[in-house]
Amino acid sequence: MENLLEIKDLRTYFYTEDSVIKAVEGLNLSIKKGEVLGLAGESACGKSITAYSVMNLISPPGKIVKGEVLFQGQDLLKLSQKQMQKIRGKEISIVFQEPVASLNPLYTVGFQIDEMLKTHNKDMNKKSRRKRIIELLENVGIDDAKNRMKDYPHNFSGGQAQRVMVAMSLSCNPKLLIADEPTTSLDVTIQAQIMDLFLKLRQQIDFTLILITHNLALCSEVADRVAIMYSGKIVELADREEIFSNSLHPYTKALFSSIPKGDSNKTKLKVIEGTVPDPADKPLGCHFHPRCPFKDKKCTQAYPGYREVSRNHWVSCYKV
């Protein structure tokens, strides 16, 4: 399968008064056309900053200091803001964690989707845009779309607002959709509905999805491949079945053993000891070594290379 997006040695740092926060530090990741790639990792490991970097949306004190983001072969980091504006929303769309905060409270949802359509599809007239808005809202499961398009964001529940955001993000038929913790702020039952929506849409429309989540269980339901991120880097990547049945990195293993099985209230969570390293003061060597039960001297000295240990299974660990 062809790569739609290739991220090469991406480094995004934040320069604060007294430190450099290395949010993303040498990240390599390819996304194949048509796949759902799950990008998973604990909070603060750099998932959102990766997404913003792909969209070239990093502003001071943040800076993309190195790397390439090749979208259909073109390096997005070399484009001007004006060129990038043509790509955002049209070629690549993003859905954020907080649907209600992502919508403008002052305008109806229909108006906001219409603005997207107007910006990127100059040849659509008012009538065809209206038809498209209704179709989009119906497609994401908003009932009575003809009337609901005249409602304001506060008239929608969190789950419905996220449906509206998904409709908006798909309005211009993007090739790539990045969903950054799209269900994290929602109730558990609503979370499942939004995931079902992504699965349904994926069968209907042709798009590639990067699903960012700290929830591995969620990845297991939707993703074709799963990338595990730790402290600004990908530490393991494999097909979904492979990573679930044969995870190799000690961090991935620990993450999986922390997923509650069956009745989550009764199963005790096995927590990974220690904490994520301070991104302004990462340990030498493998960033996971302070928490790793298998570490030896090598692990404390230099970062392990990222290797393909079996077909399509990549891992960064000396012990594998």
Ligand X SMILES: Nc1ncnc2c1ncn2[C@@H]1O[C@H](COP(=O)(O)OP(=O)(O)O)[C@@H](O)[C@H]1O
- 183 interacts with Mg ion by CB under 5 A: no
- CB of 248 or CB of 276, closer to Mg ion: 276
- 185 interacts with Mg ion by CB under 5 A: no
Options 35, 37, 46, 175; binder of ligand X; rule CB under 6 A: 46
Find the largest Cα–Cα distance for the chain: 68
- 23 interacts with ligand X by CB under 6 A: yes
Rounded to an integer, what distance in angstroms lies between the CA atom of residue 132 and that of residue 172? 10
- CB of 21 or CB of 177, closer to ligand X: 21
Length of the chain: 320
Options 30, 48, 112, 171; binder of Mg ion; rule CB under 5 A: 48
Rounded to an integer, what distance in angstroms lies between the CA atom of residue 65 and that of residue 287? 20
Indicate the DSSP class of residue 59: -
- CB of 48 or CB of 162, closer to ligand X: 48
Token pair for residue 283?
């340990």
Rounded to an integer, what distance in angstroms lies between the CA atom of residue 278 and that of residue 290? 12
Q: How far is the CB of 50 from ligand X (least distance, A)?
A: 7
Options 27, 29, 31, 45; binder of ligand X; rule CB under 6 A: 45
Give the orientation angle of helix 158-170 with respect to helix 126-139, to 10 degrees.
130
The interface region with ligand X, picked from 41-49, 115-123, 266-274, 285-293 by CB under 6 A, is: 41-49
Task: Quickly tell me which residue has 């799950």 as its tokens.
Answer: 38
Are the C-beta atoms of 12 and 58 separated by less than 8 Å?
yes
Spatial CA neighbour of 242 closest among 263, 228, 232: 228
Binding-site partner at residue 153 among Mg ion, ligand X, none, CB < 5 to 8 Å by type: none
Binding-site partner at residue 53 among Mg ion, ligand X, none, CB < 5 to 8 Å by type: none
Using CB under 6 A as the criterion, what x/- string covers residues 53-92 for binding ligand X?
A: --------xx------------------------------
What count of other Cβ atoms lies within 10 Å of the Cβ of residue 107?
A: 13
**Nearby residues of 223 by Cβ (< 8 Å), 6 or more positions away:** 36, 37, 38, 211, 240
Please list every residue from 278 through 297 that binds ligand X, using CB under 6 A: 279
Binding-site partner at residue 260 among Mg ion, ligand X, none, CB < 5 to 8 Å by type: none
Binding-site partner at residue 194 among ligand X, Mg ion, none, CB < 5 to 8 Å by type: none
Rounded to an integer, what distance in angstroms lies between the CA atom of residue 184 and that of residue 318? 34
Interface size with ligand X, residues (CB under 6 A): 14
Q: How far is the CB of 41 from ligand X (least distance, A)?
A: 6
Q: How does 4-35 read in b/e, with b if 16+ C-beta sit within 10 Å?
A: bbbbeebbbbbeeeeeebbbbbbbbbbbeeeb
Binding residues vs ligand X (CB under 6 A):
14, 21, 23, 41, 43-49, 61-62, 279
